[in-house]
A and B are shown apart, each in its own frame.
Chain A
Amino acid sequence: MKDKERIAVTGAGAVSCFGTGVRRFFSSLAEGRSGIGPIERWDVSAARSRLAALVRDYDPARVAPASALRRLDLSCKYAAGAAAQALQASGLPCRVITGERIGVAAGTSWTGCLPVRDFLRGFFGEGMEGASPMLFPYTLPSAPASQLAILLELGGPNLTFCQKEASALAAAAHAADLLAGGSADAMLAGGAEDYSEVLHEAYDRLTALSPGRGGPAGSRPYDRTRNGFIAGEGAFFVVLERLAEASRRGADVQAYLAGAAVCHTSCGLHDWPADPAPLVRTMKSALEEAQTSPEEIGWVCSSANSTVPLDGAEMRAIGEIFGGRRRQVLVSSLKGALGEFGAIGGAHLVAACAAIRSGIVPPTAGTVDPEERQGFELVLGRARRTPLDAVLINAFASGGCLVSIVLKRAATARVL
């Protein structure tokens, strides 16, 4: 993989538990705030776990006309907001013939759950009379990507990847390959997802969510008292282009995607990877492809999600790669603030771009009593200011999909 085509990030957008826009998203993270709160969208009185990081302060009417929004489900509405922001920031001319060369690669783990429930409820209740042809297209997780193509008139490759909690970061890795291979000139890459009572009920019964079988409820990555994840939702997209062309058109290059690795490890369908070795291998191959040494990495945007196995495995894996360096690498997990979900990799990308531009590394919200760690410094409480040349981003999923991406500072990037 020598001299792989360099892929630039030229725009970013977020619809998150902190509200609309990248600025609110990143400044909230930097302040160490958490977007996790009590669930009010549905009744959780019978559930053990009553917390989630749900989207707030988002008005899709500012993105698309009411007629276009009427039929969209929540995940599509979130997607529209984040994608429109990212495209606007990139300065790409949309809604013109060039749209044929602009594509979408979206990752989602569970989009479509609620329409599936509603469609089946209608059908099982009333037979074909209750089977809604309007609802049916939304039962597929590809609905947000398809709707983005229609709303924003994007005729390039339109892909959806379902790789559990690694979905959105995997989508970005796949998108970078498509760009390098010349399948498109620009790709919106990231993910969109809404959380609902259907999943909450299932996860709660599986005791996958904090507080699991006991202890305080909350998302506390790397904490000694961690006892399960908290689910999140939202939409996060970046615009990727080939660096040479982005520079040529004078785009504001925020960072570039220097290397990516998508690997797999054997574990149960709903178990978190617990063996550090495949995690080490994934991070190493992303670093190799990026031709980047561990010393250059200033921040690891970690995948730790407050579950016992994953946090432990990732901590050991990071220790193995970065142990014994003169300068300790900073590590933090955004899942203390955002929770865990299929589009989280998109949030990692957006945050990493903002971190590279601002030199601010957001802390891990929620964690107070971290486990002993080797070879790295966990950012807790307050953000750190430090110039960042490169960020290693992880998204490791239950079921075994592992993705790492290296983002680097673009020499031409404007300073905020």
Chain B
Amino acid sequence: MSTRRRVVISGLGACTALGSNAPWTWSRLVAGECGIRPFSRFDTSAFRARTGAELLEEPIPDGLSPRQSRRMSRTDLTAFAACREALAGAGIDTGREDPSRLGVFLGAASAGLFEAEQYWKEREERGIRRARLSRALGYFLSSTTDHLASLLGAEGPSATVVTACSSSTIAIGRAWEAISDSRCDLAVAGGADTLSVLTVAGFNSLRAVDPYRCRPFHARRNGMSLGEGAGILLLEEHERARRRGAPIIAEVLGYGLACDAYHPTAPHPQGAGSARAMEEALRRARVDRSSIDYISAHGTGTLVNDETETRAIHRVFGERARKVPVSSIKSMLGHCLGAAGAVEAVALALTVAEGVIPPTAGWEQRDPACDLDYVPGAARQARIRAALSNSFGFGGNNATLVLGEHPGGHA
């Protein structure tokens, strides 16, 4: 176990409410811009919250034949666009790679659900025979992984992780494990998720959404904002990346998992599972907590999440907790659910590489229960030796990813 292979990030791709690629999204995150706007894609008049961080632009099916793109859901297309960006940035042509050493690891929460909903509506309104079943076929959550693997010709290990809001963080962790265990040398890792009626109605029914915009850790925060997007990291075995002169952005150091085993939707009040996920991640990454210079928070903006996450950070970092900057980019990109961890990992890789911490937008007033340094208002420059990204899902499925700086990291 001591001879673990090192894993680096050599390409990034993103499609979000702030931009249709990673640099665009990143520059607007650093500027503290908010991508949460009134919904435009479907009728939201029934909802308490009529805002969300919808994709800035619809994904362009570049690199796909009309026949291929017709069979893909909006989620699949978004994932593919981010994947192409990551591969191009890394200088990887999958056609020249050994397909058996290329893996695909994605988190998912809705895949083709939006299209399947349209089928369901047609079926209810017009009857079974007149509803177009072809629209429902991307419903299976493995669809995006299967599409990407087929399009890239990947024959290595694959995984579709479904743990609600921590799905894509765990997928990246599994990809890290697969490369360090020598199951593959290259992996497309991350996730994509787009908004559907069920998701918006569901979170509204739980009364978990802020009617305007989420304001993580702010004293008068009032709930989350839903978002959508894709984040893809190209992970590569370190020696291989170094040999071919790849642009190494950051290093994946490890991840940790723990479950609250407490409630189907609410987190454990003391943040016990979240704290254990962070501790486990530090242990597996072999990083001392004193070298963690930033935490990318789960920070959804709900009363209870932000308070318990703060407690968990206190629990793990003790005296030092107030000195570690903590910010939530969900304040700008909304909660992208199955893609949240992936989009946040893309931003974290750039945070580490460029030494710039994106702010928590919308934060104005301190909550006594949330007493950390949340980087309010404006981005901040700082050297980041190592950083954590927290993702806590429904059912108390907690995951924490650890990224570290790499000497070649200043892109």
Contact = CB atoms under 8 A, between A and B. Distances in A.
Interface of A: 1, 99-100, 103-104, 109-110, 116-117, 119-121, 123-124, 127-128, 131-133, 136-137, 139-143, 145-147, 149-150, 152-164, 167, 170, 174, 177-178, 180-184, 201-202, 205-206, 261-267, 269-270, 278, 281, 397, 399-401
A1 B3 CA distance: 11
Contacts of A131: 201-202, 204-205
A65 B267 CA distance: 23
A128 B117 contact: no
Interface in B174-203: 174, 177-178, 181-183, 197-198, 201-203
B164 interface: yes
B212 interface: no
A162 B284 contact: no
A177 B181 contact: yes
Contact of B140 (A99, A109, A155): A109
Nearest to B129: A205
A142 B395 contact: yes
Interface in B116-139: 116-117, 120-121, 124, 128, 133, 136-138
Nearest to B338: A140
B395 A137 contact: yes
Interface string B153-185: 111111111111000001000100110011100
Contacts of B153: 266
Contacts of B154: 264
A183 B284 contact: yes
A152 B128 CA distance: 41
Nearest to B72: A269
Nearest to A277: B155
Nearest to A125: B124
A161 B142 CA distance: 9
7 contacts: A124-B121, A131-B202, A131-B205, A136-B198, A140-B394, A263-B157, A263-B158
A155 B149 contact: no
Contacts of B157: 261-264
A1 B178 CA distance: 11
A69 B183 CA distance: 40
A162 B108 contact: yes
B397 A158 contact: yes
A79 to B, nearest CB: 13
**9 nearest CB pairs, A to B:** A146-B395, A157-B257, A158-B259, A399-B146, A136-B202, A162-B141, A266-B150, A149-B261, A133-B205
A182 B284 contact: yes
Given A150-B263, A155-B258, A269-B143, 20 more contacts: A1-B181, A1-B183, A120-B121, A120-B198, A149-B259, A150-B261, A153-B261, A155-B260, A157-B258, A162-B108, A163-B142, A163-B158, A163-B160, A181-B177, A181-B284, A263-B156, A264-B158, A266-B153, A269-B71, A270-B137
Contacts, number: 219
A137 B178 CA distance: 30
Contact of B261 (A141, A155, A182, A202): A155
Interface of B: 1, 46-48, 71, 100, 104, 108-109, 113, 116-117, 120-121, 124, 128, 133, 136-138, 140-143, 145-147, 149-150, 153-164, 170, 174, 177-178, 181-183, 197-198, 201-207, 256-265, 272-273, 276, 280, 284, 393-397
Given A158-B259, A401-B142, A133 B158 contact: no
Nearest to A5: B1
Contacts of B120: 117, 120, 124
A121 B124 contact: yes
